[in-house]
Structure 1
């Protein structure tokens, strides 16, 4: 079992779970991911949502017919996600970056590989060493020609949270070190309208010919 309260990457999330879940659910999956929707699988696929929070994205993908595993290390958010999206078939897992030991401990068959791995507002919580280890873990779980879709937050760090100023360029380089190539990059303002906050959206694909 992952003890999220002992993890600096999830600092502040348990205490604010109700407020955060409301914030997450106040914007739609389609709006948050509008820049990358055209790259998501159009047929039923295996999807891993890492740092799933309230389950907004996991539920939207499950509603489209995908088989979704939602990883969330904060017990309070997992409980809220199960309640809010009880109508969707989502497998909730207590696991965490950088290593994702629970998922990676399931064996080495094709059933543990994912065609889409989603990380929404997660990557910037990891320090440099954790990001290196995490990219290796994600690549290990990614199916052939699978892709990682992630967003990076830039700007002021909320009180009580741990975030790092992680660039899109660094993330692309790190993905390349693990056999993943950039097929999309875009920048956009914060969907919640928070002053000084902006986002980078990246799609990294195994075996792709991007740069």
Structure 2
């Protein structure tokens, strides 16, 4: 089996897995994603969960009738997820941003693409490389849901301070428009005490009619 080139953004997670798994398992999907729930409610479809961790999000989608491809490069998390949230509706892949080679070679598109606490682990080049790949995996009427962590970086981890403005502009360059932009507190008391907060973003494809209007405006400018 060929090896997958992983982002260094997974740094520290394997070493801290024993501590992190029960902490992540204690946070419910609804508690974590309250700000974007109105975008996630709907008929069952195909979900791509990138950086799926221990599978809390993937399990919720599966319980709602969705078919889920859950991507997690940290083996300790992936194995724990398969044990804790066993479901025939979840397929687990060892893959990672920015390339997502194994996902892309399947030739599928997804109605929902989730990146929960993932994007800020990528450096600037990785973010530039990753965004067009995410856009190419999103179905025409689908939604990308993405969260950015702000605050002190935990010891041993690799994170960057990534702004909402940079992320929105990068998404726009690849035909995605923002449909959600809110800031929330951390759901973990220890993180709130440390000054951690989150930006919640969501994107959809720019409608073809709007693309045509924008293109005509550029031609006549």
Q: TM-score, normalised by structure 2?
A: 0.88
Partner in structure 2 of residue 73 of structure 1: 73
Bigger drift between 86-95 and 23-32 goes to 86-95
Q: Per-residue CA shift, 1:163-199, capped at 9, x if unaligned? A: 0000011111111000000001110111102111000
Partner in structure 1 of residue 197 of structure 2: 198
Partner in structure 1 of residue 148 of structure 2: 152
Q: State the alpha-carbon separation in 1 of the partners of residues 33 and 105 from structure 2.
A: 30
Q: Can you give the 5+ residue segments of structure 2 that lack an aligned partner in the other structure?
A: 211-221
Q: Can you give the 5+ residue segments of structure 1 that lack an aligned partner in the other structure?
A: none
Partner in structure 2 of residue 94 of structure 1: 94
SS of the equivalent of 1:13 reads coil
Runs of 4+ aligned structure 1 residues displaced above 4 Å come to: none
Post-superposition offset of 1:18:
2.3
1:163-182 matched pairs, under 5 angstroms: 163-182=159-178
Q: Per-residue CA shift, 1:123-161, capped at 9, x if unaligned? A: 000000100111011011111121100110000000010
Query: CA distance change for structure 1 residues 168 and 132 in 2, over 3 Å: closer, same or farther?
Result: same
Partner in structure 2 of residue 114 of structure 1: 110
The count of aligned residue pairs is 203
Post-superposition offset of 1:87:
4.3
2:47 equivalent to 1:47: yes
What CA RMSD, in Å, does the superposition of the two structures yield over aligned residues?
1.3
